[in-house]
Amino acid sequence: MSADTRAQRRRAGVRLWLPGLWLGLLCLAALAAPWIAPHDPLAQDLMLERLPPAWVGGAEPGYWLGTDSLGRDVLSRIVWGARIALVVALIAASAACLLGSALGLVAGYFGGWPDRVVSRLVDVWMAFPPVLFAILLVAVLGAGLHSVILAIAIIDWTRFARVIRAEAMVQARMDYVHSARIGGAGRIGTLLTEVLPNVLPSVIALLALEMGVAVIVEAILSFVNLSISTDDPTWGSMIAEGRASIHFAWWVLVFPLVALFLTVLSFSQFGEGLKDRFDPVLR
Amino acid sequence: MADLFEVTDLHLSLPDMTAKPLIGAAPRIEILKGLSFTLPEGKVTGIVGESGSGKSTLGRALVRLLEPTGGSIRFAGQDITHLPEPALAPLRRDLQMIFQDPMSSLNPRHTVGRIVAMPMKRFGRGGSRAEVAAALERVGLPAGFAARYPHELSGGQRQRVGIARAIALSPRFILADEIVSGLDVSSQAQVLTLLERLAAEMGLTIAFISHDLSVIRRLCAQVIVLQHGRIVEAGPCERLFDAPRSDYTRALIDAIPLPEIDPGWLGREVVQT
Amino acid sequence: MTACLEILGLDAAIRRGPRLLRNVSLSVAPGEVRALVGESGAGKSMIGKAVLGVLPRGIEVTSGDILLEGQNLGALSPGLRRRTVGAAAALIPQDPLTALNPSRRIGPQITDKLVHLLGWIRARADARARELLDEVRIRAPERVMASYPHELSGGMRQRVLIAAAFASEPRLIVADEPTTALDVTVQKQILRLIAELQARHNTAVLFVTHDLGVVAKVSQSVSVLFAGKVVEAGPTEALFRAPAHPYTRALMAATPRYTDPFASLQPVPEAVLAGLRAEVAAEDAAREARNG
Ligand SMILES: Nc1ncnc2c1ncn2[C@@H]1O[C@H](COP(=O)(O)OP(=O)(O)OP(=O)(O)O)[C@@H](O)[C@H]1O
Ligand SMILES: Nc1ncnc2c1ncn2[C@@H]1O[C@H](COP(=O)(O)OP(=O)(O)OP(=O)(O)O)[C@@H](O)[C@H]1O
Ligand SMILES: [Mg+2]
Ligand SMILES: [Mg+2]
């Protein structure tokens, strides 16, 4: 193995374990929220409003990241918020991925009219600004977690369809696809055994990226009050509330932002790392 | 000897995507313009011609990766010109192909073992570990190669895998499309002598596409010379080399750089036809 | 006559890994074509890259000198070296499909080096490009310069690359298998073209190939390479008349020849390969001894 691919492999390693660590922690926190969150995320106590984080003067013991303007514990809200963020990320991104990849594969591999139909659909879809589209959809479907998930899937399948179609198209022209046909494989069989494994790394990288996007979209929808009930702890609503007190209680805004940022970054880096890991040339 | 392939007045045109208007169908460019020839069973037939003359297109029509637009192709007495895919399926085993670029014709995500075994399984010709090892053995690769990925092999070794995959099915016909043009002379010699030996042993019928007439001269019993989608000359190999009838064939032969000192060679103008 | 390019005892290796070039020495005089032959992976391209200073990352020259027009490149600072090499040498790459940027017009791709490295004004560079395209027998230079690569055939693209290489009037050209992607008739035209230009401009050419047929036709001297080691070198004529090394003889027997189909196309015998491996091992041991 050459030095170059070894260096690349090491980079892929860091890309995998560092984001993996954060995402793993987040998943654990989300699963164990009822037990590890130090306080009830909804419990208000106006006596405790805007307590600073533990290491700043005037902190109250037990409120590690401080409290917000209603006296709710920021850490507990972030932990519970991770639940919602991850549920949305997993379900919405997977749905968008399945729908988009399937259509992209069929369009790219078969060409002809299936391609024309899918491509046209993607063009029309992408003509809408996605965030506006999401807000519109949720407004129509009614606020709530279900609508958020549905909206993300309905909007973001095009991202998969476009990329996977282009890749499948390249793959379809490769000689090993012809050689599978020569070797007796049917069209669908060739699609599944020859084309799919070669586009899978891209699918996975995109999926991870999409999970990050889903987290952001959910945050945005919460931010504009269109996700779930305003009380429920979501990162988006925390950020929205934190804005108001940025000058005298920065922690209310900063901690959910950091969680959001780290999560989105981790998803995208994790995706890239996985892609490299799946590449036999680098393995 | 009987003819395995009988091709009459073969036409093939493809849509020219570069000239496709915004609305409506792309204009079609005619690539094969009426070819008639036969491929005798158990013989190697060379197909030569310059780049873009339609050699690969012709080959792909023979193994029915492409459907001709006119004329007919008869394989072992059966008309396969327009056979739909399901009817073609049982014939696929007999119509095998080895590709020019062994890197792109071997799926980078499958192991060599899997690449060789998959068609064997599909056609019920075995495909067990031992059978794959035997197939690799025949092309001079150790059984341990079954666990490797294509990028872990040299160009010559990859091309052997391509040959192993094709002959493991004991087909009646193999199309070899420029299978050595990417290899250096010593790998080229190895691969070609291997193919030559296997063809003799198994009584294979081979269409051997190349633009290297020196290689054709060694391997083939008869030659078809293509130019711009038409046959300009066809005949037994020896006759064609000793007394080429068309200027184009002569130009092709003249352009081969022999490994001999010949100070005048570079100065002789290439006859453009 | 002093050599245009002189390589003395060049050694290159993968960093903390195996040796790729083993004590390579060769020289190319002005107006001379030296062929570098050997099988795939022998290190032919690596020599060309070492001269041009474009070795892939992770591969480094461990000892030996490269002298370009008497100047030791190893003694120069990286920036100065790049300018020196850029002004004196050029490359004709192997693959006309990938060597041209598909999204830029041909013209600027030829004149880039003249304008950026040699500081020519645009108009003069354009005039020179037209002149060169004419020299490589492209019929409508203006139109070709305004075209994108995909609008040209493989043979035309290769001509463009040749024109680009000769544009800066280099004293040395490294031609890395410039005709393997072409069919024989086009190949012959391209070989003629390189020979003509090279003779007219008195350029030294390092011609990388694995085709002994091409070697016989275009070169005046040859170095035969195996596993990064020069196993035989000499004037082309002498080498073809009486090849001394068994490997050279084996390569000749492997080269297909329509005039003698059954004596040619013989794989390199295992005995010859064993001998070569022993030679390489001996060279490695000698280096160990030298380095203590
Ligand atoms: N899918 C396609 N669409 C349009 N034109 C095509 C297509 N495939 C091939 N052609 C054209 O058909 C002609 C013949 O191509 P073909 O690949 O059969 O040539 P060839 O003789 O095999 O050449 P080479 O020696 O370069 O492989 C060429 O002019 C090519 O540009
Ligand atoms: N980037 C790289 N990293 C590590 N090793 C490399 C790299 N590039 C090439 N090599 C190795 O260096 C050796 C010489 O390669 P080189 O490209 O010079 O061969 P070549 O003689 O030009 O062969 P070909 O005829 O295939 O072009 C080979 O063994 C190759 O595997
Ligand atoms: Mg072809
Ligand atoms: Mg090379």
Q: How far is B182 from chain C (nearest CA, A)?
A: 8
Alpha-carbon gap: B113 to the closest alpha carbon of chain A (Å): 14
CB atoms within 10 A of CB C124: 12
What pLDDT does B19 receive? Answer: 62
Q: Whose CA is nearest to atom 5 of ligand 2?
A: A2
Question: What's the rounded Cα separation, in Å, for the pair A118 and A125?
Answer: 10
Please tell me which of the candidates B215, B251, B252 has its beta carbon nearest to residue C256.
Answer: B215
Token pair listed for B213? 């007439």
Regarding the beta carbon of B152 and ligand 1, being less than 6 Å apart is answered no
Q: How far apart are CA C110 and CA C100, in angstroms?
A: 10
- From A189, which residue of chain B is nearest by alpha-carbon distance? B122
Domain count, chain C: 1
A32 located within any domain: yes
Which residues of chain B make contact with C252, given a CB cutoff of 8 A? Answer: 259
The minimal CB distance from A280 to the residues B63, B92, B149 is found for B149
Q: Pocket of ligand 2, candidates B184, B186, B187, B188: which has the most ligand atoms within 8 Å of its Cβ, to mutate? A: B184
| Inter-residue contact C229 to C283 (CB < 8 Å) | yes
The ligand 2 site (C-beta within 6 Å) comprises A 2, 4; B 184; C 14, 20, 38, 40-46, 56, 58-59, 210
Number of Cβ atoms within 10 Å of the Cβ of C242: 10
Residue of B60, B114, B118 to mutate, testing the A interface (most A Cβ within 10 Å of its Cβ): B118
Range of the domain at A163: 3-38+83-223+257-278
For a pocket test of ligand 2, which of C14, C15, C45 has the largest count of ligand atoms closer than 8 A to its C-beta?
Answer: C45
Pocket flag, ligand 1, residue B203 (CB < 6 Å): no
Residues of chain B with C-beta less than 8 angstroms from the C-beta of A176:
104-107
Residue C157 has pLDDT above 50, yes or no: yes
- Residue A1 contacts C, CB cutoff 8 Å: no
CA B36 centroid distance within chain: 18
Chain segment B90-117, per-residue pLDDT in tens: 899 999 999 988 878 899 889 999 999 9
pLDDT in tens, C250-266: 999 999 999 888 888 88
Structure tokens at B124: 């019920």
Note the residue count of chain B: 273
Q: Domain for residue A237, yes or no? A: no
Q: Look up residue B264 and give its amino acid.
A: G
Q: Is the CB of B18 under 6 A from ligand 1?
A: no
User: A184 CA to chain B: closest CA distance, Å?
Assistant: 6
Ligand 1 contacts CB of residue B32 (under 6 A): no
DSSP per-residue codes, B197-247 = HHHHHHT-EEEEE-S-HHHHHHH-SEEEEEETTEEEEEEEHHHHHHS--SH
Question: How many folded domains does chain A comprise?
Answer: 1
d(CA B264, CA C84): 36
| pLDDT over threshold 70, residue C139 | yes
Provide the residue type at A172 as one letter. Answer: A
Please tell me if residue C153 touches chain B, with a CB cutoff of 8 Å: yes
Q: Which of B33-37, C145-149, C207-211 has the lowest mean pLDDT?
A: C145-149
Distance B87 CA to ligand 3 centre (A): 27
Question: How far, in Å, are A193, A220, C37 from residue A283 at the CA level?
Answer: 20, 38, 33
Pairing type for strands C229-235 and B28-40 reads unpaired
| Tokens of residue C43, six digits | 């290190």
- Go through the domains of chain B in sequence order and give each one's CATH number: 3-17+27-252 (3.40.50.300)
**Confidence check: pLDDT of C110 > 80:** yes
* Residue A228, C-beta contacts closer than 8 angstroms, at least 6 positions apart: A84, A143, A144, A145, A148, A222, A234
In short, whether B186's Cβ falls inside 6 Å of ligand 1 is no
Both tokens assigned to C166: 């000769």
Long-range pairs for C284-289: beta carbons < 8 A, 24 or more residues apart: C284/C19, C284/C22, C287/C11, C287/C19, C287/C22, C287/C23
pLDDT, residue C1, reads 57
Q: What is the mean pLDDT of residues B22-48?
A: 88
Smallest Cα distance from B64 to chain A, Å: 9
| Separate counts of helices (H) and strands (E) for chain C | 11, 10
Handedness of CA A41, A44, A48, A52 (dihedral sign): positive
Structure tokens at A146: 């279900």
Phi, psi of A142 (to 5 degrees): 95, 140
In this prediction, residue A8 carries a pLDDT of 62
Strands C204-208 and C33-37 come out as parallel
Classify A3 as helix, strand or coil. Answer: helix
C-beta atoms of B253 and C261 within 8 A: no
User: Are A4 and C15 within 8 A, CB to CB?
Assistant: no
Query: Contact partners of C by the rule of 3+ C-beta pairs under 8 A?
Result: A, B
How high is the mean pLDDT of chain C?
90
Query: Two tokens at A4?
Result: 């170059």
C185/B259 Cβ within 8 A: no
For A4, name the nearest residue in chain C, comparing CA atoms only. C58
Q: Is C197 helix (H, G, I), strand (E, B) or coil?
A: helix
Give the per-residue pLDDT at A2.
47
Tell me the per-residue pLDDT of A133-180, one tens digit each, with 9 for 90 and over. Answer: 888 888 888 877 888 888 888 888 998 999 999 999 888 888 888 888
Report whether C41 contacts C109 (CB < 8 A). no
Cβ contact C236:B261 at 8 Å:
yes
Contact between C159 and C99 (Cβ < 8 Å): no
Minimal Cα distance from B237: which residue of C?
Answer: C258
- Return the pLDDT at A283: 45
pLDDT band at C16 (very low <50, low <70, confident <90, very high): confident
The pTM of this model reads 0.79
Q: Which of residues 235-264 of B touch C (CB under 8 A)?
A: 241, 251-262
Where b means 16+ CB within 10 Å and e means fewer, A10-24 reads eebeebbeebeebbe
Tell me what pLDDT residue B172 has: 94
Any idea what DSSP says for residue A59?
Answer: P
Determine the structural domain holding residue C179 and report its residue range.
5-291
Whether residue A142 contacts residue A133, with contact meaning beta carbons closer than 8 Å, is answered with no
With contact defined as beta carbons under 8 Å apart, do C177 and C218 qualify?
no
Q: Supply the pLDDT for residue A223.
A: 79
CB contact C78 to A (< 8 Å): no
Residue A231 lies in a domain: no
Closest residue of chain A to B119, computed from CA coordinates: A183
Q: Is the pLDDT of residue C66 over 90?
A: yes
Average pLDDT in the C135-155 region? 84
What pLDDT is attached to residue A229? Answer: 62
The verdict on the CB of residue B227 being under 6 Å from ligand 1 is no
**Probe ligand 2: pick from C44, C51, C52, max atoms within 8 Å of CB?**
C44
The interface predicted TM-score of the complex, written ipTM, equals 0.81
DSSP B271: -
Task: Kindly determine whether residue B63 and residue A186, on different chains, have CB atoms separated by under 8 Å.
Answer: no
Cα C233 to Cα C6, C69, C276: the distances in Å are: 14, 21, 15
Among residues B202, B102, B200, which one has the least CA distance to residue B152? B102
The three-class DSSP label of residue B13 is strand
Would the CB atoms of B92 and A174 count as touching at under 8 Å?
no
Residue in C192, C237, C255 nearest the CB of B266: C192
C255 Cβ neighbours under 8 A, 6+ residues apart: B185, B259, C211, C212, C213, C264, C265
Contact pairs from chain B to chain C, CB under 8 Å? 127
Q: Answer whether C56 sits within 8 Å of A7, measured CB to CB.
A: no
pLDDT the model gives residue A142: 80
- CATH number, domain with residue C265: 3.40.50.300
Q: What is the mean pLDDT of residues A220-224?
A: 80
CB contact under 8 Å between A2 and C14, yes or no, is: yes
Structure tokens at B193: 């002598």
Q: How far apart are CA B154 and CA C272, in angstroms?
A: 20
pLDDT digits (tens, 9 = 90+) for B230-245: 999 999 999 999 999 9
Q: Residue A53: inside a domain, yes or no?
A: no
Question: What is the band of A1 on the pLDDT scale with cuts at 50, 70, 90?
Answer: very low
The mean per-residue pLDDT over the stretch C67-86 comes to 91
A residues 173-232 closer than 8 Å to B (CB): 174-176, 178-187, 193-194, 197-198
| Contact indicator for C146, C138 with CB cutoff of 8 Å | no
Cα distances (angstroms) measured from residue A12 to each of A7, A275, B90 = 9, 9, 45
* CATH code for the domain in which residue A165 is found: 1.10.3720.10
The answer to whether the CB atoms of B261 and C40 lie below 8 A apart is: no
